[in-house]
Amino acid sequence: MVNFMYMSRLTDSLRRAPAMSTLVRNKVDGWLAQALPGRCVFCLAALPSEHPWCEACFTELPWNLPACPVCAEPQPGAARGRRCGHCLRRPPAFDRAWVPLYYDAEVASLVQRFKFDASPRAGRVLLELMVVGLPPAARSWPEALVPVPLHPRRARERGFDQARWLAARLGRELGRPLARAQRERDTRTQRGLDRGERRRNLRGAFGLPAGLPRRVALVDDVMTTGATFDTLAMACRQAGAEEVQAWAVARTPPGRH
């Protein structure tokens, strides 16, 4: 009989090991999926439903509520349902954002394994969380999905394009085509930059061929300040889109940019 408590602790320690290679991490993921079918991805409890999580873990995830109705930045309770100060001072080029979770705790761990270790198991869980977190009206809204593009050099270095992976599978789930944007120049990393610096760093970074559908949704794994989505939304409007939404799995809480 499998000792599930032991397996949970062992799996968590393996995933946190800094020296573990991508290959080993993915083998651990694959082995767990085969050895422990029908178990919650977070606590390994038995699952009564088709989702890869139990109800208790799902409820305890860091949900991004309440949030600004335009950019999805987390809001204090007193500001519930109102535009945040950033959107009042400088409205973004996208019309609204859907970002169901905080980039924190178990969600941050899943994103890191997905983005930097190319874990398909983590990617599948994030994809399901994204679909569940989108209201039905949002899921049926776009005419095309536009993944936030990596520069080709960075994609080669990383060996994995997480936004394209998510958008391709989300498009199949929703029955929507992909429209591909191009990274026109290799911008420096956004880490450590404030909101204004991020916008300046990305100026003119994206291009798309003309003829986009009227309604498009931009797709990425994490939304930090929204500067990348803002710049890409401008390029989409120049290519013919009239309405643009920004979709991501998780939003970085204020103060952690």
Q: Where are the domains of the chain?
A: 4-58, 62-251
- pLDDT tens-digit map of 32-69: 454 446 889 998 888 877 889 999 999 999 999 899 99
Which has more confidence, 122 or 11? Answer: 122
Element (H, E) at 113: helix 105-117
Residue 250, strand partner residues: 101, 222
Element (H, E) at 146: strand 144-147
Fill in the amino acid letter for 31: W
Q: Which two tokens stand for residue 27?
A: 């083998």
pLDDT confidence of residue 39? 86
Asked if residue 31 has pLDDT above 70, the reply is no
pLDDT category of residue 78 using cuts at 50, 70 and 90:
low
- Cβ proximity of 139 and 176 under 8 Å: no
pLDDT category of residue 195 using cuts at 50, 70 and 90:
low
Tell me the average pLDDT of the chain.
82
Give the position of tokens 């309604």: 215
pLDDT confidence of residue 35? 43
Those residues with Cβ within 8 angstroms of residue 42's Cβ, 6 or more apart along the chain or in another chain: 53, 54, 57, 106
pLDDT category of residue 198 using cuts at 50, 70 and 90:
low
Rounded average pLDDT over 199-218: 82
SS3 88: helix
User: What pTM did the predictor assign?
Assistant: 0.80
pLDDT confidence of residue 14? 44
pLDDT category of residue 126 using cuts at 50, 70 and 90:
very high
Asked if residue 185 has pLDDT above 70, the reply is no
Pick the CATH number of 62-251 from 3.40.50, 3.10.180, 1.20.120, 3.30.70: 3.40.50
pLDDT confidence of residue 191? 61
